[in-house]
Every structure is written in structure tokens, then in C-alpha cells.
Structure 1
Amino acid sequence: MEKPSIRFQDIGDDARRQYVDARATFEAQRAAQLKASAVRGGMYWKNVAQGEYLVRTSVRNAQKSLGPRSAETEAMYASFTQRKQEAEARLKDLSAALTRQQRLNRALFVGRVPALVVALLDMLEQQGVAEHFTVVGTHALYAYEAAAGVRVESAAVATRDVDLLWDTRKRFKLATQLQRLDASMLALLRKVDKSFALVEQQPYTAVNSDGFEVDILRREVQEDDPHPARLSQHEEDFWAVQARNAEQLVSAPRFSAMVVAPSGHMARMNTVHPLAFARFKRWLARRLDRDPLKVQRDALQADTVQALVAEYLPQLQQTLDP
């Protein structure tokens, strides 16, 4: 039986140009944000019995002496003050520019990613934990279509949950960051929507008052992987669930794209190489124990992504065979 042809909707030249402009501003603003974070806190001269000392302060008011006043510490102070002023001014300007781009995104209908998903991705980045999670479910298609400048058919992206694959190889780094934030992963999720709560008897899933779910997945246990594995030491937090063949996704090349909500807000989505996604979905569709209701969509997504790469992202075919 011949497969139906896969159709894509072109977003139009105006929306495509706007996406490119917004992406440039978004990336510049994120780079400025990172640079400004390096000079957070402050420096001041502290008078003590022995004289004046230069003190570096953190945002949490931790203090560190950098030495007595001298030509060297005065140069340090001057350099820090200048870098801080420049970084903060640049961040302020780019943040204002980003707000303008958000309005243009909305006016030109650039994005259609659910607002909650964009807010979730932005939160992960702002809290410094984005590197530990990869979008591996249906929502990954939004990253692929954004990079291609088209839209896939709605049936391929219809879902009420987002799957985040946790890289257990970096579990200690995540634990350290959560400890620094004094927060659980669930607490971070509640910064996006305070109604999120863990599902009883299914602690790898949190659901909000609208029925939208966030699932935390992990590869099957191997080597020194802990099992079971909770994301933090907080009693009320996610326990990641093992996903069959997820090692294929953990080891796949990464793919990242800026995604846009209907409101115009933007976030970076980190997922896997499109053809790795298609390969995994093809494998799922062929499993005899797969939910029959999901098999058709698995196959549709695999076909859609493979066709998308062939038609709009051919350069990616050279980096991974389907």
C-alpha cells in the first residue's frame, strides 16, 4: 500500500524573514545575559584596621577579599565596574529589542508552539538546567519545522504532554544545580504553572489543572546509573521512568532551534537530530506491544520528519543516515 504524500504549509516570506530577525535578536540577548551573569554581584572597598581591602560580593551576599588596595586591585575594580556597566547596558538594550521582536512575531503569526511549552523551555534555561533535558516526544517536531520554515500537518503535533529525557550521565551536575537553587524539579516546574502536581502511582509525571502533562524519562539502567532515580533530594519530586531504547536518543547528535509561541515569546528547544527522531519513531511503530492508537501517529511522525529533512533540511542527511 502506497504511503500518502506528506504535505507542508509554507509560513510565507514575511514570517520567515521575521523568524530569522527574531532568532538573531534572541541569540544576541541570550549571549548578553550570559555575559552579564559573569559580573553579577559587585565590588567595594572595605575599611579595616590594616587599611582598605577590595571585596567581591555575590548575589547571595557572599563576600571574598581580593587583597589590600594597590595598583593591581584598583585596576581590577576599574575593569570590573566597566565590564558590569557595559554588560548591563547591552542586556537592557537587547531585552528591549527582544520585546519588539516578540510583538512582531505575534503580528506576523510566526509561532504556534503551546505557550506553556515555550515557558517551560525558557524556565529550564533561566534556571541553568536546560542542558540536562532533551525534548524527545511529539513537541520535537516544532523545532524541526521552525528550522525548515514550514509547518507540518496538525495531526502530527497534536498532544497534551511533553516528554523530557533526563541525561543520567550528568546527574551529579544537575543535583548540584538544584541544590544551589534550593529547589526540586517539581518546584521549578511550578514557576511556570503553580497547579502542577505529581500523579499518584506515576511519579515520573506531573499534570496541571488543564490536564497538560510533563513526563521525565531516562535511559534503561546501565553501568553506574542509580535505580530508581529521583531528580533531587526533595521528598516531593520526580522519579524518572526508564524508556525502552532511550539510549539511542541519549547518544544521538543534538539539534537545537528557537521556537515561538502564538504570543510571540521565544525559547530554545534542545532535542535530537531529526533523523534520529524518525528512526526512533519508526522503531516504536513496529513494536508489537505498542498501543495501537499510537502506532499510526508514530509512523506519521517518522514519515513527516524524514520528508521534512529531504525537502527542506537536506544538509542534515549528510550527518546521520535515516
Structure 2
Amino acid sequence: MNQRKTQPFQDIGDDARRQYIDARAAFEALEAAQAQAATVRGGMYWKTVNGSEYLIRTSAGNAQKSLGPRSAETEAMQRSFAARKAEAEARLKALKTTVQRHQRLNRALYVGRVPAVVVDILNMLHDQGVAQHFTVVGTHAVYAYEAAAGVRVESAAVATRDVDLLWDTRKRFKLATQLKRLDSSMLALLRKVDKSFALVQGQLYTAVNSQGFEVDILRREQQEQDPHPAHLSETEEDFWVVQARNAEQLVSAQRFSAIVVAASGQMARMHTVHPLAFVKFKRWLGQQPDRDPLKVERDHLQADTVARLVEEYLPQLLQPTA
């Protein structure tokens, strides 16, 4: 291939870099606060049964469990829980306010450029408890790498109107359980982001919204225990996940995550694959004889760009990956 003449990276500037570092720290603190608050969801109350009082622990779904009759020990448990819950809720509220302020600063300083719909989808997956089942692969992963590096890659390397989500079939039972708990389908969850999302006829692994933005859900090629065909939920109108060639390489790859920022300033955590695994896969993909020639050029561009990004800005990641 000819040596590219363009400069592949644009420095975001000191002000934007400092703002990203501060915003990322606030977002990560919010994540920790959310995890802590989750441990004290629900409540505790005293219930009288046959003249005796029992301490009852309730879950967020209103499931109830007795912790024993009233005693010095259970009274201490109730006081401790109430104090921890109040502290967790206060911290969560304060950090939400802090993150909102940082999001306004992100927008003012042009910190991010990830499509807003992608950030909204990532946050929805987290909020619904299914983020661990999906990995962002393909072009949008580059946003995570450039965020970690504090630069922007050339626009041609991130130009796309679809996001690829790789479903880990090894965790399919956990996803099914969570969707049942939510009484939802994957498509219904996606419609929480944008009501216009609909499955593409004849291509039921893809949903597209009214703006033409697509979400593709992929899986590794079938292995012994994998269902085939693979339907994401028991709901009739839901994704039928497509097999992607050599996707096992991505499923088993080392993971990488970064806080990404939309042009609006909104933030989300993107889970993707290690950048060197991305490079390896893109180079393999670009060598396939039946690959669309227009996509081959982008495959090579993305592989070369991310490889150079790691070498110049993320040298700590220069070690063998799975």
C-alpha cells in the first residue's frame, strides 16, 4: 500500500485533555457510587408476626427475607443499613450533579465526538444490567482508543452509520435471565433509546432508526453448545443474531474499556477489545478475497491507524494479546 500523506492524529489540546481527565474521574466515581448504592437497594422494616417483631429485608423488586426477630443484633443491622443507604444515596446524588457539570464543560470544550445515539445505547445497556453481554467491535471501537490516547484520529477511520455489538453466547443464559427479569426484549431495550428502531426485514440481526443509524448484533460462528439459529429473547419481535467469520478471535480477545464522550458532552463506558486485537482482526479481514473492496481500504486504514496510535500514545499496551 502507498504511504499515507495525511497526519492521522489531531491533538485535542491541553484544555480539552484536562477536562477529559477530570470528567473521566468523575464518571468513574459515579460508577463506583452506583455499584455501592446497588448493595443497599430496597429497604428494611419491622414486621409483627404472632406478637413478635421480625426484621424484614426487601429487595428493589419487593422480594422479602426475614433477618430474624428483634434483638440488639438486628436493631444494629437496621441502623447500619439505614446509615449506609443514606450515605450511598447522598454520594450518588452529589456525583450525578458533578457529572452533569462536567458534561456541560465537555460540550463547551469540544472534548468528544462520539455519535450521541451510541453513547445513549451504551448507557442504556449499563442501566439495564446487560452491558457485560455485549462488546463494541468494528469502527466505533476506535473512539475508545482515541479517547484513551487523548487525540483524534482522522475522520475517515471512524466514518460509519452503524455500530456492531458482539454478543457473547457463552453467557446466553445470564442474558436470557436478565431479559426475563426486565420483562423485555433486546429490541424493546433499544427502543428506550429511540422509539423508531425497527428490525430490517430479511436482515433480522440489524435494527435501524428513523435517521438511518443501524445496530448490528453479531456472534461467533457456531460451536458445540451454541444455539443456532440464535434468538436473543423469547419475544417474537427480537434480534436473530448473525454469525460473523472469525469472531471467536474477538470473543476470546483481551478486553479494553474507556470512557467515551459525545459531541453533546454526555459520557458512557465503552467495552471493546484490546487495540492490538482490533488491529490483528482488521488486518485479517482486509485480506479476505470476498471482502468488499471499498471496505478493504478502510480495514487497512483502521488497522494502521490504531497500530500507530498504540505505538505513539499507548505504549503500555504493547504486549501480546489473546
Q: TM-score, normalised by structure 2?
A: 0.98
Residues 51-60 or 288-297, more deviating: 51-60
> How far apart in 1 are the matches of 2:84 and 2:276?
43
> How far apart in 2 are the matches of 1:9 and 1:75?
57
Q: What does residue range 131-280 of structure 1 map to in structure 2 within 5 Å?
A: 131-280=132-281
> How far apart in 2 are the matches of 1:112 and 1:86?
35
In the TM superposition, residue 314 of structure 1 has moved relative to its aligned partner by 1.0
In the TM superposition, residue 315 of structure 1 has moved relative to its aligned partner by 1.2
CA displacement, residues 190-224 of structure 1 (integer Å, 9 cap, x when unaligned) = 00001001111111000001110000000000121
- 3-state SS of paired residue (1:55): strand
CA displacement, residues 263-305 of structure 1 (integer Å, 9 cap, x when unaligned) = 1110000000111111111111111100112111111111111
> How far apart in 2 are the matches of 1:272 and 1:62?
37
> How far apart in 2 are the matches of 1:61 and 1:250?
36
> How far apart in 2 are the matches of 1:133 and 1:3?
35
Q: Which residue of 2 aligns with 1:80?
A: 81
Corresponding letter in the other structure for 1:3: Q
In the TM superposition, residue 3 of structure 1 has moved relative to its aligned partner by 1.9
Q: Which residue of 2 aligns with 1:304?
A: 305
In the TM superposition, residue 188 of structure 1 has moved relative to its aligned partner by 0.5
> How far apart in 2 are the matches of 1:215 and 1:172?
21
* Partners of 2:122 and 2:268 within 8 A in 1: yes
1:4 aligns with 2:1: no
In the TM superposition, residue 20 of structure 1 has moved relative to its aligned partner by 0.5
* Partners of 2:197 and 2:207 within 8 A in 1: yes
- 3-state SS of paired residue (2:258): strand
CA displacement, residues 134-185 of structure 1 (integer Å, 9 cap, x when unaligned) = 0001000000000000000001101000000000001111111111111101
Q: Which residue of 2 aligns with 1:17?
A: 18
Poorly superposed stretches of 4+, deviation over 3 Å: none
> How far apart in 2 are the matches of 1:24 and 1:156?
27
Residues 310-319 or 108-117, more deviating: 310-319
Residues 59-68 or 139-148, more deviating: 59-68
Task: Give the paired residue count.
Answer: 321
> How far apart in 2 are the matches of 1:274 and 1:80?
43
In the TM superposition, residue 68 of structure 1 has moved relative to its aligned partner by 1.1
**Residue ranges of structure 2 left out of the alignment (5+ in a row):** none
Q: Which residue of 2 aligns with 1:289?
A: 290
- 3-state SS of paired residue (1:203): strand
Corresponding letter in the other structure for 1:275: L
> How far apart in 2 are the matches of 1:202 and 1:215?
9
> How far apart in 1 are the matches of 2:97 and 2:245?
44
- 3-state SS of paired residue (1:112): coil
Q: Which residue of 2 aligns with 1:59?
A: 60
CA displacement, residues 78-127 of structure 1 (integer Å, 9 cap, x when unaligned) = 11101101100110111111111111111111000000000000110111
> How far apart in 2 are the matches of 1:124 and 1:291?
31
In the TM superposition, residue 53 of structure 1 has moved relative to its aligned partner by 1.1
**Residue ranges of structure 1 left out of the alignment (5+ in a row):** none
- 3-state SS of paired residue (1:240): strand
In the TM superposition, residue 231 of structure 1 has moved relative to its aligned partner by 0.9
Q: Which residue of 1 aligns with 2:110?
A: 109
- 3-state SS of paired residue (1:318): coil
* Partners of 2:169 and 2:219 within 8 A in 1: yes
Q: Which residue of 1 aligns with 2:127?
A: 126
* Partners of 2:253 and 2:321 within 8 A in 1: no
* Partners of 2:114 and 2:263 within 8 A in 1: yes
